[in-house]
Amino acid sequence: MSVKYKIGESVDTILTDIEGTTTSISFVKDILFPYIRSNLESYLTKNFDDDQCREDLRLLINQSRSDFLSFGHQVPQIKENFENKTELIESALANIKWQMDQDRKAKPLKQLQGHMWQLAYKNGTVKGHVYEDVVPAFERWISKGFKIYIYSSGSVEAQKLLFSYSDKGNLLKYFSGHFDTNVGLKTESQSYLNILNSLGKSGEKVLFLTDLVREAEAATQAGINVCVLRREDNPDKERKQFDCVNSFDEI
């Protein structure tokens, strides 16, 4: 193991991203999201009368109204008529696929996706990808007294599913907590200040691991230490101003 980044002596907490950091971008892009697209219609049809599914649809309906006010007629509207199952589902499919095409991070969309992934993980259709170097690093860091937290744009529920049903087994025992976009967007420095406030920590106590420079910049503005991952499928090349490693083995 060749160490390229030495964790500062003041650091006692490691905050890590998921996509492109602990987990391959291709897993999210080529497995998780295509699963939603392929199974969306059958999922909504089968679960239409369930309370959870109906609540997801109500939230999506409200989101489509809000989006219409912001973006206009380009937003497919969901027909709010639970008496007409076919019409509601068809309009919901159009709206959800539009949101996914725009790479939206809206909470109602994330909630529905989380519920669908929950089913896929639990029935074994999907297993969360975790890089080979991640678990040994978690073991190493925890043995040295560090606490590990996750911060991802995916919901806390989706994070827990990925690590509960990972290809390395159930990894939840390694984490002291999880953060998602309820604390703010990952490209905004205020989000990291919110995390520091939640942890009761100053920035110098925390190391943030990410693959994206915009996130690294936001964390740095909040006073947090940053190390950027250069995984093989990461698209972000503008990393020169940050300490970089190729894997967790180098930290």
Rg (CA), the chain: 19
Quote the CA–CA distance of 142 and 148 in Å, as a whole number.
Answer: 8
On whether 2 is known to bind a ligand per the annotation, the reply is no
The answer to whether the beta carbons of residues 206 and 11 sit under 8 Å apart is yes
On whether 153 is known to bind a ligand per the annotation, the reply is yes
Pairing of strands 13-16, 225-229: unpaired
On whether 247 is known to bind a ligand per the annotation, the reply is no
On whether 6 is known to bind a ligand per the annotation, the reply is no
Both structure tokens of 49: 């009368």
Quote the CA–CA distance of 201 and 228 in Å, as a whole number.
Answer: 21
Helices (H) and strands (E) in the chain, counts: 9, 6
On whether 19 is known to bind a ligand per the annotation, the reply is yes
On whether 143 is known to bind a ligand per the annotation, the reply is no
Backbone angles phi, psi at 49, to 5 degrees: -90, -5
- Residue among 166, 191, 171 nearest 181 (CA): 191
Residue 37 contacts by C-beta under 8 Å, 6 or more apart in sequence?
97, 100
Q: Annotated binding site, which residues? A: 17, 19, 152-153, 186, 211
Q: Annotated binding site for substrate, which residues? A: 152-153, 186
Q: Annotated binding site for Mg(2+), which residues? A: 17, 19, 211
